[in-house]
Amino acid sequence: MSQFAVLPDPGQARTLDEVTGCLRLLKTWAGNPSYETIAARVNAVRPVGEQVGKTTVVDCFRAGRRRLDPDLVVAVVEALHADVGYTTQWRQALRVVSGESRPDAQVRVLNTLPDDPPGYIGRTTVAPAALTVLAGMAGAGKTRLAVHLAHTLAADTPYDRVLAVNLRGCHPDQPPVEPGAVLDGFLRLLGMAGQHVPHDLPARTTAFRLRLTGVRTLILLDDAADEAQVRPLLPGVPGSTTVITTRRSLDDLTEALHVPVDVFTPSEARAFLRTAVPGIPAGPDPAALDRIARTCGYLPLALSLVTGHMRKRPGWTLTDHADWLAERRRTGRLDPGVQAALDVSYRNLTPRARELLRLLAHHPARTFDTYAAKALTGACAQEQLRELARHHLIRPATPGRWSVHDLVRVYAAGRSADEDRRADRRAALTRLLDHLLTAAEDPADLSAAADFAAAEGWPSHAARLHQRSTEAGPIASPT
């Protein structure tokens, strides 16, 4: 989950008391200046007839208020942190709390790039275009790659302006951002006075593009929900570069360079672990580092979270950590951070796609085709497969075949245990095993299916699948 804001987030506030609570946190964040100091800062930029006293400022921070003066609150925020993008977010958040606008109409925009921490582990070099889309599954490191790429571009190119925003396409608690709110913030960052910001989305887009004409601008749009959200935010003028990250395929952006972001390679995962937690002894198992990486599915998010666990246990060896992870995996447990990230992707699926994902968790082979998916669901599943692929919850394996990432499989199996009747799972797996008896499958996959059938109580299927796995050549799948 990406997050640009490091200040107290007013977007979390839903009541006036929560607004004043956030304001008190901001005062603490700003070094806890006195109310006299805050009042002086507010008055320094207000007309003589609109000066305020200390008591009026104190009231802005007091719980139990039935109303707040939004202009004064924004002035206080500006006195504590004079950042146009942040004060714009407060202005939008106050409109949401007052009922004047929806929660998707508030967002913080930035005129600088998020920090690019040291220790970046290189991916395949990306040669960006004027519009580049980095797409991949939850936790694949898209934001980290995009930020690093943007910093590289900024170092190589003298951009006049930088704009960045988290669009919350897959945020666990807040809705995706309405593009008009982003443009409101962008236009203010570009120097447009609030009273001149157009009200409707097309006019804001036009004003945005006019402001960027002749200006070399680098734009980072993180965590996009879909094409409709990002289309109005594209500069559409020469000299600008836009980098988008998303969990979904944005294929309708035909003018973009689409770059898939996969998990780390084994060597990248090893390099990440050695950099993040150096100096931990291997212990009895010299391959423990590789086991940790493999158990994490080489997923950057999972690896990052496990390094946090490793730092908190200085007496453990790499073997201890690898054994701990293996035990969690055997019991079907995921790190809460990985679980939360996959929860959001799962919630964004249609009910039929969710069902297919849950059933695919029980498929005994490493890969599957559309016929296996149809057998599991008992109906044509091509549209559901396309949907899962768009959300990067399944991925192409070989031509005509798909695979499920190990951590997604664990997650989906847990969902299936919670949501599916045992009788329904048994019926789906019976249909699948019947299908595999006549399908064109790899002998190793058929052997895995035979072992699965034996373990789950289908002895007849197990024997026949084992026989199939030893046959010289597979027979064709039905068409």
Give the domain ranges of the chain: 10-98, 131-260, 266-338, 349-470
What is d(CA 229, CA 227) in angstroms, rounded to the nearest whole number?
A: 5
Neighbours of 276 (CB within 10 A): 16
The b-or-e profile of 109-123 (16+ CB within 10 A means b, else e) is bbbebbeeeeebbeb
The span from the CA of 359 to the CA of 252, in Å, is 30
Across the beta sheet with 367-368, what order do the strands follow?
367-368, 402-403, 395-396
CA distances, 205 to each of 198, 202, 229 (Å) = 9, 5, 12
Q: Is-contact 344 305, C-beta < 8 A?
A: no
Measured in degrees and rounded to the nearest 5, phi and psi for residue 166 equal -95, 115
d(CA 312, CA 48): 56
pLDDT given at position 469: 84
- Please enumerate in sequence order all residues whose Cβ is within 8 A of that of 471, keeping only pairs 6 or more positions apart, or say none: 443
CATH number at 349-470: 1.10.10
CATH of domain 131-260: 3.40.50.300
State residue 439's pLDDT score: 82
**Cα 344 from chain centroid (whole Å):** 8
What single-letter amino acid sits at 16? L
Tokens 């664990």: give the residue: 410
> What pLDDT score was predicted for residue 61?
93
DSSP 258: E
Q: Are 132 and 143 in contact (CB under 8 A)?
A: no
Supply the pTM of this predicted model.
0.85
Question: Can you give the C-alpha Rg of the chain in angstroms?
Answer: 27
Contact (Cβ atoms closer than 8 angstroms) between residue 437 and residue 468: yes
User: Who contacts 127 (Cβ-Cβ below 8 Å, separation ≥6)?
Assistant: none
**240: phi then psi, degrees, rounded to nearest 5:** -105, 150
The total of other beta-carbon atoms located within 10 Å of residue 329's CB is: 16
pLDDT in tens, the chain (479 residues): 344 446 888 988 888 999 999 999 999 999 999 999 999 999 998 888 888 899 999 999 988 888 888 899 999 999 999 888 899 889 888 988 888 878 888 899 999 999 998 878 877 677 889 999 999 999 999 999 999 999 999 999 889 999 999 999 998 888 999 999 999 999 999 999 988 999 999 999 999 999 999 999 999 999 999 999 999 999 989 999 999 999 999 999 999 999 999 999 999 999 999 999 999 999 999 999 999 999 999 999 999 999 999 999 999 999 999 999 999 999 999 999 999 999 999 999 999 999 999 999 999 988 999 999 999 999 999 999 999 999 999 999 989 899 999 999 999 999 999 999 999 999 999 999 999 888 877 788 888 889 999 998 899 999 998 888 887 354 444 44
**pLDDT the model gives residue 7:** 81
